[in-house]
Amino acid sequence: MELRARVLLWKLVLLQSSSVLLSSGPAGPATPGSSVVSESAVSWAAGARAVLRCQSPRMVWTQDRLHDRQRVVHWDLSGGPAGGPARRLVDMYSAGEQRVYEPRDSGRLLLTPSAFQDGNFSLLIRAVEDTDEGLYTCNLHHHYCHLYESLAVRLEVTDDPRAAGAHWDGEKEVLAVERGAPALLTCVNRAHVWTDRHLEEAQQVVHWDRQPPGVPHDRADRLLDLYASGERRAYGPPFLRERVAVGADAFARGDFSLRIDPLEPADEGTYSCHLHHHYCGLHERRVFHLKVTEPAARPPPRDSPGNGSSHSGAPGPGAGDPTLTRGRSVINVIVPEGRAHFFQQLGYVLATLLLFILLLITVILATRQRRRGGYEYSDKKCKSKGKDVNMVEFAVAAGDQALYRREDIRLGYKNNLLKERVELSHSPLPAKSIDLDKEFRKEYCK
């Protein structure tokens, strides 16, 4: 008889489970569309390294060798006749056995062993007692997907069999059960995240899209595709593909931030980070409106006379006018000379001066040599024509003749002709007026 009653109770569970679902949990597969969780405008200067932050701890991939995904269900009771805080009644893991916390409830509170296969987490109380009255909560926890869902059912114990039944009070189900009769607290969730055992690496994907200015979202260009299995695919124009990257350990840390280095003015646009975890039902999108600005100008150097800056603190003529654009300025940098540079320049000056002196000496010697060579050339020219200079015709003053007579000139003569000429010059001759300039011109012109 008892076995027949249990079979009837479980049939009732299966009939009720088809119509009662968790209001907070998804009823089926997640929709492929993603919801925008954040939208921000960012700005970087051209040439800098831009980082678009896209992080989610729910996308962290940890392989589960037991394939239970760390799923757990537990029932709590609060608000009983005795009052007090909520207490744990029973719990069960997807890869383990159910555990009852109170000894008196052992064998009296039951969960179906196939709860994580068919999605039926209903609690069966064999014989209801007065102490069982209160608010029951069915809690489903998915530690891997970071999902927490709950369903509340209020149990009332009555002595009138006609008052037994169930109704909805607008927030939760209210179940009235006769004392000593069995009670079934319904909790059903057939979402695939609680029942399926697929490999998550085939269902986790992250991709980045880019929209140039003026391009709608449905025509965005795909930049990157990342899979938890390690596969990566790069798209987009070549000038941008070589400068964008996502960390190699993105799925290990849940950080899928996009780095653009270096940033160029053509990179301006809207970027979208799409996170899809099909197993956990996660579909999120983060939007970044990137603006590229001109690189910041370097601060001017300190005031110095060499760079044209003024020592006075008075502002320029257009310092207070924001409408005036500031043009490019030329900065003169004066590098102090070292001691070695000074001696090097001094050596150049001294070498130049010495070279000039040597050149001057060379010119003077060449000039003197040329004059001496001219005289010898004239004497040889006269001898080659066979014409001798008549020394007798030169006018010599009387005082000079007397002076030369008193001198004893002892010369060695090579021939008689020169000897005669010398004797004639020492002999007294009558004074004769001769124009030497005229005689020289006459002799040289012949």
Q: What is the pLDDT of residues 379-436, one digit of tens each?
A: 565 555 554 545 444 444 444 444 444 444 555 555 666 677 767 776 665 555 666 6
Q: 30 pLDDT exceeds 50? A: no
Are the CB atoms for 61 and 203 separated by under 8 Å? no
Please name which of 53, 57, 33, 31 lies closest in space to residue 44, comparing C-alpha atoms.
53
Q: 327 pLDDT exceeds 60? A: no
**Low-confidence winner among 55-59, 264-268, 335-339, 385-389 (lowest mean pLDDT):** 385-389
For the ranges 58-72, 214-228, 297-311, the maximum mean pLDDT occurs at: 214-228
72-87 mean pLDDT: 82
Give 175's strand partners. 155, 166
Residue 243 CB partners (closer than 8 Å, separation 6+): 260, 261, 262, 264
DSSP assignment string, 163-213: G-EEEE-SSSEEEEEETTS-EEE--B---HHHH----GGGTEEEEEEEE-T
Are the CB atoms for 258 and 51 separated by under 8 Å? yes
Task: Indicate the average pLDDT of the chain.
Answer: 75
Enter the tokens of residue 413.
């003569």
End-to-end CA distance of the chain, in Å?
Answer: 175
The identity of residue 238, as a single letter, is: P
Angle 416-426/398-406 helices, nearest 10 degrees? 120
Residue where the block lists tokens 């909520």: 86
Quote the CA–CA distance of 136 and 72 in Å, as a whole number.
17
Higher per-residue confidence, 114 vs 392: 114
Q: 5 pLDDT exceeds 50? A: no
Q: Show the beta-strand stretches assigned E in 212-304.
A: 221-227, 232-234, 244-245, 258-260, 269-277, 282-293
**Low-confidence winner among 24-38, 53-67, 143-157, 158-172 (lowest mean pLDDT):** 24-38
The identity of residue 298, as a single letter, is: R
pLDDT tens sequence across 340-389 = 777 888 888 999 999 999 999 999 999 988 888 766 656 565 555 554 54
Domains and CATH numbers, the chain: 33-64+200-293 (2.60.40.10), 71-191 (2.60.40.10)
